[in-house]
C-alpha cells in the first residue's frame, strides 16, 4: 500500500489525521520534532495511541533540517503528503519570531523540495484563518485579498500559500491549502482557549478574557476538520483550462485552497457559557484589553469546500464542548 507522510503528527490536528488514516488501513509515516512549545507529555500521549497501529512509523525530525527531510523523502517514496508541522500561535510570534521563520518558512521549502524531487502526487498543507487579518468583510472567502496580516504567524501562512503556488506552477505538483478556523476538541493544544478556559473554570481561578470578551470565532470541532481534510486528500487538483485567471488563487496551476470552518461564528462569551454548562461551574471573568496579533472576528465561507467535496462542518458547540470537557476531565484527572 502506498505510504502517506504526515508532518507534525504528534500535534493536535496531526494526531487526529494520522489516527483517521490508520483506522482506514493506510500506511502512515509520521514526523514531529516534539518541541517544548507546550507539554511534550501530551504529544507523547498522542503518539502512544498511534503506535499501537502496525501501519504507523514514526521519526523524531525537525522539518527545518534540510538533509534529514531530503533523506526521508528519498527513502519513503510517499504517494501523498499532509504537512501540518508548524510553529503555531499568533501571540507567540511576537515573542519568538525566529521560530516561525525556521519552522514555517524553511521547513515548508524543505517539504516542497521533497515533493518536487520524489514526484509526490498531492501535497495538502495547513494554512490558517489568521491570514485574513482584520478583514472587515465577512464571511471570509478564499477570493478575498489577504495582504495585511496582523501577526508574523499569519504572514508565514500566507507565504506558504504563495510558495505552494509557485511550486505547483513550476513543477506541476498538485497542492491544496486548508485555512483552518479555531479548531477545538479532545487532545487539543493547552495554549488554546478551550483548555485554558476549562482549566480555570474547574480550578475556580479568574479567567483572562481579552478584548473585554468582544470577539467572535468560527469554532470548528476537530472531527469536522478531519472529515474535510480526508475528502480533500482524495481530490487531487488539476490545472484549469486556459490561464485560470478566473480562480481566486491565480493562473493555470494544479492548486486548490479551502476554508474549513463551522460557518457559524460564536460570541466568545457564549463559548464560555457552553463550557460553564458542560462543567457545571461558573467562570470568574477578568476582562482585559485586546492583545497584539488578535483579530476581532472570524467567519468561514465554505461554499467552495461543499461544492468540491460535498462537506460542510456541522458540529454545534452544544455537542462539541461536552465531548471536549469529558476528555479534559479524564486526561487531566480533574
User: Could you read off the pLDDT of 88-129 as tens digits, one per residue?
Assistant: 988 899 999 999 999 999 999 999 999 999 999 999 999 999
Q: Where are the alpha helices (DSSP H) in the chain?
A: 12-23, 40-50, 66-76, 92-95, 97-100, 107-118, 152-171, 193-203, 222-234, 268-279, 303-309, 317-332
Domain CATH code at residue 141: 3.40.50.720
What is residue 247's predicted lDDT score, i.e. its pLDDT?
56
Provide the grid cell at 34: 516534539
What is residue 294's predicted lDDT score, i.e. its pLDDT?
77
Q: How confident is the model at residue 321 (pLDDT cuts 50, 70, 90)?
A: very high
Is 39 inside any structural domain? yes
What are 24-61's pLDDT values in tens digits? 999 999 999 999 999 999 999 999 999 999 999 999 99
Is 288 inside any structural domain? no
Please list the active-site residues. Answer: 153
Is 64 inside any structural domain? yes
pLDDT at 249 over 80: no
**How far is Cα 197 from Cα 212, in angstroms, rounded to an integer?**
15
What is residue 135's predicted lDDT score, i.e. its pLDDT?
84
What is residue 220's predicted lDDT score, i.e. its pLDDT?
97
Domain that holds residue 24: 3-188+219-263+299-316
66 vs 248, residue with greater confidence: 66
**How far is Cα 66 from Cα 43, in angstroms, rounded to an integer?**
23
Is 182 inside any structural domain? yes
Count of structural domains, the chain: 1
What is residue 43's predicted lDDT score, i.e. its pLDDT?
98
Min mean pLDDT across 163-172, 274-283, 293-302 is at 293-302
Coil, strand or helix at 39: coil
Contacts of 164 (CB under 8 A, 6+ apart): 108, 112, 123, 125, 175, 177, 255
pLDDT at 245 over 80: no
What are 56-77's pLDDT values in tens digits? 999 999 999 999 999 999 999 9
Is 100 inside any structural domain? yes
Q: Say if CB 187 and CB 16 are below 8 A apart.
A: yes
**Average pLDDT of every residue of the chain:** 94
End-to-end CA distance of the chain: 42
Is 291 inside any structural domain? no
pLDDT at 180 over 80: yes
Is 120 inside any structural domain? yes
What is residue 291's predicted lDDT score, i.e. its pLDDT?
83
Burial 86-111 (b: 16+ CB within 10 A, else e): bbbbbebbeeebebbbbbbbebbbbb
Is 223 inside any structural domain? yes
Amino acid at each position: 500500500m502506498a505510504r502517506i507522510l504526515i508532518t507534525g503528527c504528534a500535534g493536535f490536528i496531526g494526531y487526529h489525521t494520522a489516527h483517521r488514516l490508520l483506522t482506514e488501513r493506510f500506511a502512515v509515516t509520521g514526523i514531529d520534532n516534539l518541541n517544548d512549545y507546550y507539554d511534550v507529555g501530551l504529544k507523547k500521549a498522542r503518539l502512544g495511541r498511534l503506535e499501537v497501529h502496525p501501519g504507523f512509523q514514526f521519526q523524531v525530525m525537525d522539518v527545518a533540517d534540510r538533509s534529514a527531510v531530503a533523506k526521508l523523502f528519498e527513502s519513503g517514496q510517499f504517494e501523498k503528503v499532509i504537512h501540518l508541522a508548524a510553529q503555531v500561535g499568533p501571540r507567540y510570534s511576537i515573542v519568538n519570531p525566529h521560530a516561525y521563520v525556521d519552522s514555517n518558512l524553511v521547513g515548508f521549502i524543505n517539504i516542497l523540495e521533497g515533493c518536487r524531487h520524489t514526484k509526490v502526487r498531492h501535497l495538502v498543507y495547513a494554512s490558517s484563518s489568521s491570514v485574513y487579518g482584520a478583514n472587515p468583510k465577512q464571511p471570509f472567502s478564499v477570493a478575498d485579498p489577504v495582504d495585511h496580516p496582523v501577526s508574523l504567524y499569519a504572514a508565514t501562512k500566507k507565504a506558504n500559500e504563495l510558495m505552494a503556488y509557485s511550486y505547483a506552477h513550476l513543477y506541476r505538483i498538485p497542492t491544496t491549502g486548508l485555512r483552518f478556523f479555531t479548531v477545538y476538541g479532545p487532545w487539543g493544544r493547552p495554549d488554546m482557549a478551550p483548555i485554558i478556559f476549562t482549566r480555570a473554570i474547574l480550578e475556580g481561578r479568574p479567567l483572562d478574557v481579552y478584548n473585554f470578551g468582544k470577539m467572535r470565532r468560527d469554532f470548528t470541532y476537530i472531527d469536522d476538520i478531519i472529515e474535510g481534510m480526508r475528502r480533500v486528500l482524495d481530490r487531487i487538483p488539476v490545472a484549469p483550462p486556459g490561464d485560470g485567471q478566473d480562480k481566486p488563487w491565480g493562473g493555470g496551476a494544479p492548486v486548490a485552497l479551502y476554508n474549513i470552518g463551522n460557518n457559524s461564528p460564536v460570541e466568545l462569551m457564549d463559548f464560555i457559557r457552553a463550557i460553564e454548562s458542560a462543567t457545571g461551574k461558573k467562570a470568574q471573568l477578568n476582562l482585559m484589553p485586546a492583545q497584539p496579533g488578535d483579530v476581532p472576528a472570524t467567519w468561514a465561507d465554505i461554499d467552495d469546500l461543499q461544492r468540491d467535496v460535498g462537506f460542510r462542518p456541522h458540529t454545534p458547540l452544544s455537542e462539541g464542548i461536552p465531548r471536549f470537557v469529558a476528555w479534559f476531565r479524564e486526561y487531566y484527572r480533574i
